[in-house]
Amino acid sequence: MMIYEERESYDHCGVLGLSFTDEDCVYSLAHGIFHLQHRGQEYCGLALEDEGEIHAEAFRGLVSDSFTPEVLSLFKGKHGIAHTSLKDPQPFVLESRIGKFAIAFSGNIINAREIKEELMRKGFSFSSNYHVEILAKLVAQANNIKEGLESLPKKINGSYSIVLLADDGSLYAMRDPLGVKPFIAGASAKGVCVASESAALNGLGMKIIKDIEPGGIYLLRPTGISKISQVESERIAHCAFEYAYTARIDSVINSIPVATARNNLGASLAKDDDIEATVVAGVPMSGLGHALGYHKASEVPYGIVFDYNRYALGRSYIPPNQDERNRIARDKLYIVREAVRDQSIVLCDDSIVRGTQLVERVRELQETGAKEVHVRIGAPKLTFPCRHGISTRSKDELIGSDRTVEEIRKILGATTLKYNSVESFVQAIGIPADKLCLACWTGEYPS
C-alpha cells in the first residue's frame, strides 16, 4: 500500500529507463518507478522492447494498484522505460519513418501550443493534447533518433528529462540544456539505469554513476552508458525547489544530498531565531529534514507532533474539493497529543503554497493545547508560479504572491512566521545562484 503526502503542490512526473544484460527488467521497472511515485500520483505507465516489438501500457492510478504481479506477468523485455505523472499517461508510442519508439519525459513545454500549430501546418495530426506527443513528433521529423533529440533545444522552450526506447532495444536519455529537472544514471551487475532521482537507484540496489549533464544525450547499453552528443548549454538552471520539497530525502541531486540541503535550511532558520521554544517538529514528510536541521543548530529539543497513519487507505485519485482533501489529510496525519499540550512549538515545513493545509495543522495544534506555534519555512516565500512542471497554475493560487509575511501569519493563526531569505536558501543548498532556477521567488524564468 502506498501512503504519500497530502500536499498542495506536486511535481508532474518521474521517469526511469533500464537496460539489463540477461534478465527481464519488467519487475525492476515497476519497482523503480514505485520509488518515484512522490513525483506524480495520477498516472503510471511502462514500455518494454521484446524481439523488436514495443509493448506499452499506462493506467490511471498508483503504481502498486496498477502494475500488479498479474499485469506484469503479461510483459517481457530486457530494456524498458517507465513513467509516473500527475497530468498525463505516458510513455507515448509512435510508429514513424525512423522506426517505432516509446518516449516519456519529466518537465513542461512552455511553447507547446506554437510547436503543435506549426507541426499541424506541416501535415502532422495529433491524437492528444499531451506534451509528450509533441516531443515524439519533433523527434520523428529527423533522419534518426539522435538527430531528433539534438534538434529539440532549437524548438522547445521548457524543461525535459527524456527517456526513449527504440524498437531495436536502444535506450536513449536526454536532459534539457538548462538541466531543470533532476536526472541521474546508475548501474549494478544486472545493467544500467537512468532515473529522475537516485531514490529509484536506491530502491533497485544500484549505485550512482553520475548526473546526466544538461544538454547531454546518452545511449544506454546493458554494459554501460555513453554520451553520444552534447547540445550547447548557455545557462544552467537546476530547480531549487527540488531541495526544499519535491525530491525524496534520500536522493542526491546534482551531487547535493537532499537531506543535507534540508538540514542546512533548518539550521539557517534557527540562526538568530530569538524565540523561546520547548520543542521543534516537522510536518511529515518533507518538513522533517528542516526540523532536524533546526534542532541540531539550536538548543530546542526535537519532537514528533504529527505522524502518519501508515494503515490509512491510499488513494488513486485527486479529491475533488478542499473539504474532502482536508478529511483525507486528517485520516493520514494524526496529532501526538502528549507532545503538544502546554508546549511552545517550532513547526517546520518546506514551503507554503496555498496555505490551506498549514492553517489546519496550526489550528489542530492550538486546539490540542499548544501554548505557541512558531511556523518556520525552509523555502523563501513563494511568489510566482512555476512554468517548468509544478502544478500550481497561477499567481492567484499562491498565498505569498501579494501578501506580506505578517498577513500570511495572521491567516495561518501562527504565533510567529519566518521564511528563509533567497540568499540563505541558495547558501543552504550549496549551488551558486546563477546555476539554479529561482523563478518561484524572483520571477526570472530561465530560457
Residue appearing with cell numbers 506541416:
122
Q: Which helix or strand (DSSP H or E) is residue 324 part of?
A: helix 322-332
- Is 212 an interacting residue with respect to ligand SF4 (CB under 6 A)? no
CA distances from 110 to 33, 159, 342, 394, 396 (A): 25, 8, 50, 14, 19
In terms of CB distance, is 13 or 386 closer to ligand SF4?
Answer: 386
163 forms beta bridges with 104, 173
Segment interacting with ligand SF4 (CB under 6 A) among 46-54, 165-173, 235-243, 362-370: 235-243
Segment interacting with ligand SF4 (CB under 6 A) among 70-78, 362-370, 420-428, 434-442: 434-442
Provide, rounded to whole angstroms, the least separation between the CB of residue 32 and ligand SF4: 23
In terms of CB distance, is 288 or 390 closer to ligand SF4?
Answer: 390
Provide, rounded to whole angstroms, the least separation between the CB of residue 387 and ligand SF4: 6
Secondary structure (H, E, C), 95-156: EECCEEEEEEEEEEECCHHHHHHHHHHCCCCCCCCCHHHHHHHHHHCCCCHHHHHHHHHHHC
Burial of 337 (0-12, 13-18, 19+ CB in 10 A): exposed
- Distance (Å, whole) CA 72 – CA 26: 7
**Contact positions with ligand SF4 (CB under 6 A) in 362-421:** 386, 388, 390
Site string for ligand SF4, 95-114 (x = CB under 6 A): --------------------
Cβ neighbours of 154 (radius 10 Å): 8
Binder to ligand SF4 among 33, 277, 429, 440 (CB under 6 A)? 440
Residue type, 211: D
In terms of CB distance, is 11 or 88 closer to ligand SF4?
Answer: 11
Task: Tell me, rounded to whole angstroms, the distance of Cα 123 from its chain centroid.
Answer: 35
Provide, rounded to whole angstroms, the least separation between the CB of residue 177 and ligand SF4: 14
Segment interacting with ligand SF4 (CB under 6 A) among 78-86, 239-247, 292-300, 417-425: 239-247
- Distance (Å, whole) CA 193 – CA 183: 11
- Distance (Å, whole) CA 374 – CA 58: 44
Q: Which of 13, 25, 437, 440 is catalytic?
A: 13
In terms of CB distance, is 150 or 242 closer to ligand SF4?
Answer: 242
In terms of CB distance, is 94 or 239 closer to ligand SF4?
Answer: 239
**422 within 8 A of 442, measured Cβ to Cβ:** yes
Provide, rounded to whole angstroms, the least separation between the CB of residue 255 and ligand SF4: 18
Provide, rounded to whole angstroms, the least separation between the CB of residue 122 and ligand SF4: 30
Determine if residue 113 is left, alpha or beta; phi over 0 gives left, psi from -120 to 50 gives alpha, anything else beta.
Answer: alpha
Provide, rounded to whole angstroms, the least separation between the CB of residue 445 and ligand SF4: 7
- Distance (Å, whole) CA 47 – CA 93: 8
Residues in binding contact with ligand SF4, number by CB under 6 A: 11
Provide, rounded to whole angstroms, the least separation between the CB of residue 244 and ligand SF4: 9
Provide, rounded to whole angstroms, the least separation between the CB of residue 179 and ligand SF4: 11
Strand-strand pairing, 191-195 and 216-221: unpaired
Residue type, 276: E
Residue appearing with cell numbers 508560479:
385
- Distance (Å, whole) CA 344 – CA 196: 39
Residue type, 290: H
Binder to ligand SF4 among 239, 252, 352, 370 (CB under 6 A)? 239
- Is 437 an interacting residue with respect to ligand SF4 (CB under 6 A)? yes
In terms of CB distance, is 30 or 382 closer to ligand SF4?
Answer: 382
229 forms beta bridges with 217
Cell of 136: 515524439
- Is 240 an interacting residue with respect to ligand SF4 (CB under 6 A)? yes
Provide, rounded to whole angstroms, the least separation between the CB of residue 241 and ligand SF4: 4
- Distance (Å, whole) CA 386 – CA 197: 20
- Is 261 an interacting residue with respect to ligand SF4 (CB under 6 A)? no
Binder to ligand SF4 among 241, 294, 306, 425 (CB under 6 A)? 241
Q: Which helix or strand (DSSP H or E) is residue 107 part of?
A: strand 99-109
- Annotation marks residue 13 as catalytic: yes
DSSP letter string, 28-82: HHHHHHHTTGGG--SEEEEEEEETTEEEEEEEES-HHHHS-HHHHTT---SEEEE
In terms of CB distance, is 31 or 388 closer to ligand SF4?
Answer: 388
Segment interacting with ligand SF4 (CB under 6 A) among 42-50, 238-246, 325-333, 399-407: 238-246
**Contact positions with ligand SF4 (CB under 6 A) in 156-195:** 180
In terms of CB distance, is 137 or 388 closer to ligand SF4?
Answer: 388
Determine if residue 144 is left, alpha or beta; phi over 0 gives left, psi from -120 to 50 gives alpha, anything else beta.
Answer: beta
In terms of CB distance, is 190 or 387 closer to ligand SF4?
Answer: 387
- Is 426 an interacting residue with respect to ligand SF4 (CB under 6 A)? no
**Active site (catalytic) residues:** 13
Binding site for ligand SF4 (CB under 6 A): 180, 239-241, 386, 388, 390, 437-440
